Amino acid sequence: GQSLEQPSEVTAVEGAIVQINCTYQTSGFYGLSWYQQHDGGAPTFLSYNALDGLEETGRFSSFLSRSDSYGYLLLQELQMKDSASYFCAVMNTGFQKLVFGTGTRLLVSP
């Protein structure tokens, strides 16, 4: 089977840097994705890592270590609008389906 673990909640202040970790167990790992979901909204795609290392997209970066079955999402220069839930998701080499973690609620305060 597949399982993903991420913290349930993280708090930070505006302007700070926060890291949301994700560890996973899966057979035939293909890649790790991150999605953001604001309250009442649809999840939206943030990033995808198939290879080890850091991928940077503006204020957000995502890291993957395949040997450690571990990844993280790094959010820099936090803004109030970054308050949302963040989900990691793994794709295995089976069919093209994503399995999601339970999500991390990020609360950004002034």
Partner 1 sequence: DVKVTQSSRYLVKRTGEKVFLECVQDMDHENMFWYRQDPGLGLRLIYFSYDVKMKEKGDIPEGYSVSREKKERFSLILESASTNQTSMYLCASSTQGLGNSPLHFGNGTRLTVT
- Whole-number minimum distance, CB 59 to partner 1, in Å? 19
- DSSP 8-state secondary structure symbol assigned to residue 94: S
Using an 8 Å Cβ cutoff, are 60 and 46 in contact? yes
Minimum CB distance to partner 1 smaller for 14 or for 45: 45
What ranges make up the beta strands (E) of the chain? 3-5, 9-13, 18-25, 29-37, 44-49, 53-57, 60-65, 70-75, 84-92, 98-100, 104-109
Minimum CB distance to partner 1 smaller for 40 or for 110: 40
3-state secondary structure of 6: coil
Interface with partner 1 by CB under 8 A: which residues? 8, 30-31, 33, 35, 41-45, 48, 50, 87, 89, 91, 95-103
3-state secondary structure of 73: strand
- Whole-number minimum distance, CB 65 to partner 1, in Å? 17
Minimum CB distance to partner 1 smaller for 13 or for 50: 50
Minimum CB distance to partner 1 smaller for 79 or for 93: 93
- Whole-number minimum distance, CB 29 to partner 1, in Å? 10
**How many whole angstroms separate alpha carbon 44 and alpha carbon 61?**
15
- Whole-number minimum distance, CB 14 to partner 1, in Å? 26
